[in-house]
Amino acid sequence: MLPQADITTVDFMSRQTSWLHWLMKKIYLIMLDFVPNLYDVFYKVSGGASGGSLVQSAFAVVMQPVMQRIIRRAEPDVVICTHPFPEGAASLWKKRHNPHLPLVVVMTDYSLHQIWLYPRVEAYFMATEAMRQEMTEKAFSQARLHAAGIPVDVSLQALPGKAELREVYGIPQNNPVILLMGGGLGLGGIKETLLELEKIPQSLTLLVIAGRNERLLEEVRKCAAQYHHLVKAWGFTDKAHELMRAADLLITKPGALTISEAFVLGLPMLLHDPIPGPETENAVYATRHGAAVWLHPGEKLAPAVQELLTGDCLESMSARAKECAKPAAAAEIAQCIVTMLTGKK
């Protein structure tokens, strides 16, 4: 690799990067509460060739000045984008200022969508071979397409065993252990999920990561004193991977990174409440490959969990999850980028 490389990570939608970008994200999240299918509408409108190009061009034009400021400050040898918004801004910047600056895109979805497809991209890295084939059919150069998988932390492969971690966290060895996660904001109906799980007579250990949602964390801890299950709760924590390793089942929204990490850990999933669009496609992918069960609206959670806890269901799902895993994705992507850069010198 390049041990001397200077890597600058930028959150393109943060307030520190751009007040306008942050405001756009804030307004979108607020609107999502009132119009749950808003993302679905955007996803479908931007999915077609004409509608997609229009949406892509609009976002690229709005965000290109911020990308120009970032590039001038960092003077990078390569720009790597993991989201289509900065990708579009970088592509437009290349067109206007420097067509020779390498632009690399790491797709973080389990389905291909028009909004990821921009000109002037030297290398695309995607989750699956099916996505690579679909891009080939759209006349993208095969030499630029790599089905490396979605990159995850390499430390996942070096975690201690399940029994050891349960001892560390005071988790009983014999009870089924279920982890509830809702991302950094603690979304995904965690409190309602806990109420449903309380209906299960079998003794369970429930691990809850509330993220930065302090109100949820307080509510979970209050509920814990009343439940017959053992409930352990954390706020925002860097121990999420260890808790995933200690669990038998993960109940979560189907974010692509979370799913990818669960694949590597062989952790079966019960997925619910996907944001219409890419999260729905993520749920479809994990379910079709036997690594997850997708709980659709109207289906009861408690019976679904009870069914998963019977027989060798979880063991079978764990094996299927590992078959989907791409633990070396990050290393493969890094090596390809290094080869691309050194080959240009």
Read off the tokens for 226. Answer: 């009343």
Average pLDDT over residues 338-342: 90
Model confidence at 4: pLDDT above 80: no
Read off the tokens for 8. Answer: 């600058």
Read off the tokens for 302. Answer: 């408690």
Read off the tokens for 299. Answer: 């289906």
- At 188 the pLDDT is 56
Strands 123-125 vs 103-106: parallel, antiparallel or unpaired: parallel
- Give the whole-angstrom CA distance, residue 233 versus residue 51: 44
Q: Return all residues near 38 (Cβ < 8 A) that are at least 6 apart.
A: 28, 31, 32
Burial class (CB in 10 A: 0-12, 13-18, 19+), 149: buried
CA dihedral over 270, 272, 277, 279, signed as positive or negative? negative
**How would you classify residue 115: left for phi > 0, otherwise alpha for psi between -120 and 50, otherwise beta?**
alpha
- At 182 the pLDDT is 76
- At 116 the pLDDT is 93
Q: Which CATH number fits domain 156-324: 3.40.50.2000, 3.40.50.740, 3.30.2350.10, 3.90.79.10?
A: 3.40.50.2000
Q: Report residue 185's pLDDT band, with 50, 70 and 90 as the boundaries.
A: very low
Distance between start and end Cα atoms, the chain: 15
Neighbours of 180 (CB within 10 A): 26
Model confidence at 18: pLDDT above 90: no
Position with higher pLDDT, 206 vs 276: 206
Read off the tokens for 127. Answer: 């989750």
**Within the chain, which residue ranges are assigned CATH 3.40.50.2000?**
156-324
φ/ψ (deg, to 5) at 106: -110, 105
- At 186 the pLDDT is 42
Angle at the Cα of 173 from the Cα atoms of 290 and 240, rounded to 5 degrees? 60
Of 43-57, 198-212, 233-247, 320-334, the one with minimum mean pLDDT is 43-57
Instruction: Output the average pLDDT for the chain.
Output: 89
Partner residues linked to 231 by β-bridges: 206
CA dihedral over 165, 169, 173, 177, signed as positive or negative? negative
**CATH classification code of 19-152+328-344:** 3.40.50
Average pLDDT over residues 203-221: 89
Model confidence at 259: pLDDT above 80: yes
Average pLDDT over residues 203-232: 89
Q: Report residue 316's pLDDT band, with 50, 70 and 90 as the boundaries.
A: very high
